[in-house]
Amino acid sequence: MGIAKYIKEIGRGSEGARSLNTEQAADLMGQVLDGQVTDLETGAFALAMRIKGETVDELLGFAKATRSRCLAVNSDRPVIVIPSYNGARRLPNLTPLLAMRLAQEGARVLVHGPRHDPARVTSAEIFQALGLAPVDTHAAIHERWQRHEPAFLATDTLSPALQRLLDVRWVVGLRNSGHTVAKLLQPVQGAPALRLASHTHPEFGKLMADFVQRSGADLMLLRGTEGEAVADPRRCPKLDVWLGGQWQADLCCPAQEGVLAELPLLPRQIDASTVAVYIQGVVAGEKPGPAPLDKQVDLLLRALQRLEANPAHEQRA
C-alpha cells in the first residue's frame, strides 16, 4: 500500500509528469479517502495534481473511487443533481433559485456542497435563510421532494472523507482534485441523474466534455457564474446537454451575443438573507426572474422529460 509510487509519476513537474490509468487513479483516490496515507502524502498528491492537471482517465478513476465511498441517494425517478462548491463573491448566488424553480415544476432536485466558506456566500447559507436546512437522511430527502422543494445535502454528510480532502485547501491554499471530483459526483442510485457541471476556462470545459462522453453521463455543461453551475443572470452562456454521453443539439443553446439591452433586476447585496428574500419573490411570481435562468430551467426540464420517457435508460457512472 501507499501512494509514493503514484506521486513519483504525477509529481515530476508540468513537463515530466506521467498520467495514471483509471485503475491506478481509483486506487490512489481510494487510499487518500480511506485515510491510509499521511498528511504529507495527501498534500503532495494535491499539489502534484494541481501542477500536472487531470486527464480523463484519472477523473474516471477518481470519480469511481469517490462514488463508492459516498452516500447513495435512492430514487425511482430521474434526479437533477446540482453541485455547489464556489458560492458568491461579487454576484448573488442564484444556485438555490435554480434549484427551487426546478423543484417547483415537479423535478426531484438534489444540491450538494459545503456548509460554509470563509470568503463566499454558500448555497447552504441561502437555503438556511429560506428555511431549508441541510438534510441528513433518505427520509428527509424524499420529504423535500414530495413537497416540491430541493434537498440540500452537505458534503460532510454525503462523504465525510471527501470533505476532509476538500479541507486540505485551507492548509495548502489551493483547490485540489477533490474539488473537481465533487463537481462530478453522481450519488443517485436506482435512476438516472442529470448532473450540472461548470467550467471557467475553455480547456477545462473540453476536459469535462470528454469526461461526459467517456462515462456516458447525463449532464449539462456551462461556463460557471463565479464557478457555480447556474446561468449568468446578465447574459446567457452556452448551454450544452448530453444524455447517455451523446450530445443533444435540440437541448442546447449558444452563448448570448451582442450588447445587452437591459440588465435584470437583481438584489443589491449578496448576503444570504438578502438573496433569500429575492428568491422568495421570484418563486412566488412577485418579481421577474433572469431570462438566462429561465432558459436553463426550460432546457433542464426538457432533458429530464426525455430521461423519464426512457425507463430502460441504464445508470451512469
110 residue type, one letter: L
All structural domains of the chain: 4-67 (1.20.970.10), 77-254+264-308 (3.40.1030.10)
Burial class of 15 by CB neighbour count within 10 A (0 to 12, 13 to 18, 19+): exposed
Checking if the pLDDT of 40 tops 70, the result is yes
Quick one: pLDDT at residue 312?
55
Its pTM stands at: 0.95
Output 89 or 260, whichever has higher pLDDT. 89
**108 bridge partner residues:** 79
Grid coordinates standing for 304? 429530464
Task: Give the pLDDT mean for 258-275.
Answer: 84
Checking if the pLDDT of 316 tops 60, the result is no
- pLDDT tens, residue by residue, 196-225: 999 988 899 999 999 999 999 999 999 999
Apex 204 CA angle, 116 and 40, nearest 5: 55
Asked whether 199 and 208 are in contact (CB, 8 A), the reply is yes
* 246-247/239-243 β-pairing: antiparallel
Q: In percent, how much of the chain has pLDDT > 70?
A: 96
Mean pLDDT (the chain) is: 94
- b (16+ CB within 10 A) / e for 79-105: bbbbbbbbbbeebbbbbbbbbbbbbee
Quick one: pLDDT at residue 264?
81
Quick one: pLDDT at residue 16?
86
Task: Give the pLDDT mean for 152-180.
Answer: 96
